[in-house]
Structures are given as structure tokens and as C-alpha cells.
Structure 1
Amino acid sequence: MDCYYARPYQHERKKGKYVFQSYFHDPSNPASLIDDDLSAVFEDQYHNLWIGTHNNGLELMDRATGTFKHYSAKGGPSSGLSSNVIRKIKADKDGKLWISTLNGIDIFDVKTGKFTVLNHVPNDPLTLNQNSTYDILKDAAGSMWVGTYYGGVNVYHANSTPFREYKTSLGGNGISSNVVSAIVEDENHNLWIGTEAEGLNYYNRTTGKFKAIKNEIGNPNSLSSNLVKAISIDKKGSVWVATYEGNLDRYLPFSGTFKHYKPNTADPHALNSNRIVCLLHDSRGRLWVGTRAQGVFLYNEAKDNFTLLNSAAYNQELKFVRTFLRILQKIYG
């Protein structure tokens, strides 16, 4: 899952230290960030930095000048977004941006500067089955998996007609909930799908079967909460699951066992919040954990504990994290 700070930062290295520059909305400057309430950050193949907001559309940052170009839901789909509520930004195999919104998927062609919209058309089974879209995954084959609110998972397979859907199925084979919050592909190209109410799902693409993994009251070897916010898979194949107001869970698929990391404010090397909203394994395999109101943590695998990122230069700005940044792995290697 991609992660990012609640506000955009630009950094440069001076005398072995990183210097952060933060950016805020300035009502007197039309070229400033349009809103401080951000939801997504994505760097495209041309190194453009795209920033989504919760209610004010899309931003393109000029990294040389620190100014922003605004895109909003105005002027029709060819010149603007279909919704100002931005949730995720990813790129497809052709480098076009897929932007999940409250009103479908907006596809932005970086070369032409034009938008097209994919949304639900009543009585047309080949379109999205739900406009309220959330997470997006581009798998190893180039297919685009879209998690929706109440429509399950919709899949656009490369070089085929969209869309195929995966939903709940009473008494049959399906995902445990149609409210999908996270989608991750493992090294075997199977999928792990998080939901907002019914736990974690494992989709075996060879057999086409789903397996639900949920919290079981009284069973410590189960998911700590069914409200899954983020998923990340480490190099050993362990599946890390961020649950909201539960714990950080580490699931070992081969043994079917869990290890729970519970918040403990009395322990300086433990997490201090059960409101975890994002996870990221960086290019060196390290796990970063973002919380809603208690900062960012780095997992120390050798000691099996956590360190709070607490540099005085930017600790206060990092305190409020929504889902945090892929650029982090560039900063810390």
C-alpha cells in the first residue's frame, strides 16, 4: 500500500542531513496547495508529483518552484475530474493515472492532459458496479484491481473488456464483504484483500477460491479486528495487517498463525496507538507504520520492536498521518 504524509514535503540533503520543506494552503496565493487535508500522493514515470485531497480535487506540484496546478470537477470529463473527493492514485501499464474517487475512476493521460471517466452505467454489466471507489492495485500482469465501497472488487484485465467483479456470495465462493479497503499482490501473484467490516481475504488465483480470515472472539490466534485499513507483505511472505482500533497483526500464511503488536504507551519501543492507517515496506525491506494521531514508527526486525520517528525538525508535522509516503523509501534508502 502506498503511504504519504498528511502534508507534502520536499527534502534535500545538506552536509549529510535531510532538510524538509513543508507546503501549506495560502489563501493569498492561488499557486499554493489548495487544501491541507490530503488523501494521496503519487510520483509518475516522469517524476511528476500528484497529490489528492479529500474534498478539493487533484494537485500537480512543480518541484522546482514549489507551486501547484489544480485540477477539479469542472468543465466535463475531458478537462476535469468527475469528483473532488480523491482516494488513491496509481498508474497503469501505459503510465496513465488511475484516480479513485467518490464518483468512479478518472483516468488521466499525462501526455495529452485529458481525463476520461470510468463509472457505473445502470444495466451495463461491463462497467464499474459501484462509483464509490477506494484502493487500486496494478498486478504483475498489468490488470487493474479496484476496491469499492459496497461493490466488492472490480477488475479491468489488460487487453480485455472491462469489468469483472468479485463480491460476496451467500453460501458460495466470494469475498467476505463488499466494502473493500486494501488490495495487495504477493510473490505468487495471489491477492490479499482487506475489508472495512469482515476482515481479511486471501484469493488464490490458481484455484479461484477465496478464504476469509477474521477475528474470532476468544481466539488469540485470529485477526485482532475485522476493520482492516492496510496490508503489506514482507520479503519472508509474512502478511502485516493494520487494523483500526485493534492491533498491528503479523500473519504467517504457512503456519496460519498470528502475532499481535499491541499499543503500550509505557514501553518506548512499542506502538503507542491502535489507530493504524497505513503500512509500507521500503526498498530495504523495513516496515514503516503510520498512525492517525501518534506519528510514524519504524519496525526493528532484529529486536522485534518499534522506534518512533522523532526528529525535532519535523516530529510535530509527522504526528498526524493519514496514510504515509512512498517517497519515504527515497529519504531513508
Structure 2
Amino acid sequence: MPNRNLNKPLLLLGAIALLFPYFLCGQSAPQWQFDHYDGSVGLAHDYVLCLYQDSRQILWAGPYRGLQAWDGYQFNQFNLLGKEAFTNTVVYAITEDREGNLWFGTEAGLNFYHVRTGAIRQYFHDPEDPSSLSHNHIRALVFDSQGYLWVGTYGGGLNRWDPATDQFSRYRATLPSTHINVLLVTP
């Protein structure tokens, strides 16, 4: 004699499995909207090399030969050629440190921008100084949980900047390539 108590859960499970697609049909898929930004809304160039949203919710864009900040309403041009100029106007990478200051990697060096004072500090490769950057063409920047800045270069491998000593350590020999385009810190 079959066990009727065992058949009831199987019948219920079968009914749920058959009705599940019906319930899914009633759900609407999320609608994604993409806005296209170009020169008509103030973007300096259609070719954008990097994007970064800082802790103040400003979206920094590195269009070819420039740097712009999107405040949610408009693009504001950031003067890279002012009194305290950047090392170069082609920005490939942007990141932010714990104090909210910004770091910009260009094709000709690394730039530190102190947000409150507007001061800019530049870092370059010096062939005579092993604690300088290994290469000036910066492609990737990321801070780790200990506050070290990791710098990926195009041709010089990986560098780590130590905020306590203001010096770089180079990691070239242990890498399969000296061209670092992307860096990601995992938890």
C-alpha cells in the first residue's frame, strides 16, 4: 500500500514547479537607460580613457587630452596646464586616497592632487633612483586596505608607493609582462 503522506509533498512540489514560470511572467524586467555624453554636453573629447567616481560623488573623466569633473549636471574642465601643471594632459587612471585626495596617472608620470589646497605633486621615473617609479607611462592605480598605492605602468611593470616613506618599490621580475593596464584589490 503506497504511503499517502509521502505523495502530498511531491504533489505540492510538482504544482509549484509547474506554476513558477507563470509567476515569473508577471514580473517586469528592470529597464536600463543609457545616456550618451559627447561634446554637445561639454565633454572635451568623445574618446574617454578612464572614469572614476570619488567619495564626494563627483565623476572624473579622462577624455583624450584633458580631465573633467561631472557634478551630475554638467562637465567642468579641470585645468591641467595651470601654474602647477600635471605631468601630461593624457590621463589614463584615477583613484582616491583615504583623505579624499586624488591621484592621476598620465602617459608621462603620476600626479597627486590635494583637494583642499589645490596643490599638485608630481612623481617621475628617475633612472638614478631605484625608489622612484619604474616607468612614467601610468595605466592603472589602486589603493589597498593598508594604504599602499599600487601603480601599473605600460612598460615598467608594477610599483607600490609607501605613504610612510614616499618611495616606490618595483615589481617587474616576477610578472609575465611589464605592461599593466588594470589593477584590482580583492578583499
Q: Give the TM bin, normalised by the shorter chain.
A: 0.7 to 0.9
**1:127 is the counterpart of 2:42:** yes
Identity over aligned pairs, percent = 31
User: Letter of the aligned partner of 2:98 in structure 1?
Assistant: E
| 2:67 equivalent to 1:157 | no
CA root-mean-square deviation: 1.9
Comparing both structures, which one devotes a greater share of its residues to strand? Answer: 1
Of 98, 105, 110, 1:194 maps to 105
Q: Could you tell me whether the CA contact under 8 Å between 1:185 and 1:191 is conserved in 2?
A: yes
Deviation at 1:183, TM superposition (A): 0.6
TM-score (norm 2): 0.77
Could you say which residue in structure 2 is the equivalent of 1:276? Answer: 180
Mark the CA change 1:112 to 1:227 in structure 2 (over 3 Å): closer, same or farther.
Answer: same
**Gaps spanning 5+ residues in structure 1: where?**
1-109, 264-269, 284-333
Give the Å deviation of 1:211: 1.2
Q: Which has the larger radius of gyration?
A: 2
Structure number with higher helix proportion: 2
Which letter does structure 2 place at the counterpart of 1:154?
Q
The CA distance in 2 between the partners of 1:191 and 1:277, in whole Å, is 19
Distance change in 2, residues 1:281/1:139 (3 Å):
same
CA distance in 2, matches of 1:224, 1:249: 7
For residues 256 and 227 of structure 1, the distance between their equivalents in structure 2, rounded to whole angstroms, comes to: 19
Contact 2:51/2:94 (8 A) holds in 1: yes
Pair 1:237 & 2:147 matched:
yes
- Alpha carbons 1:247, 1:274 under 8 Å: kept: yes
Which amino acid is 1:145 matched to? W
Matched, 1:259 2:169: yes
Note if 1:166 corresponds to 2:68: no
- 1:1-333 maps to which residues of 2 (within 5 A)? 112-121=31-40, 127-151=42-66, 153-158=67-72, 161-169=73-81, 172-196=83-107, 198-263=108-173, 270-283=174-187
The CA deviation at 1:181 is 0.6
Q: Normalising by structure 1, report the TM-score.
A: 0.45
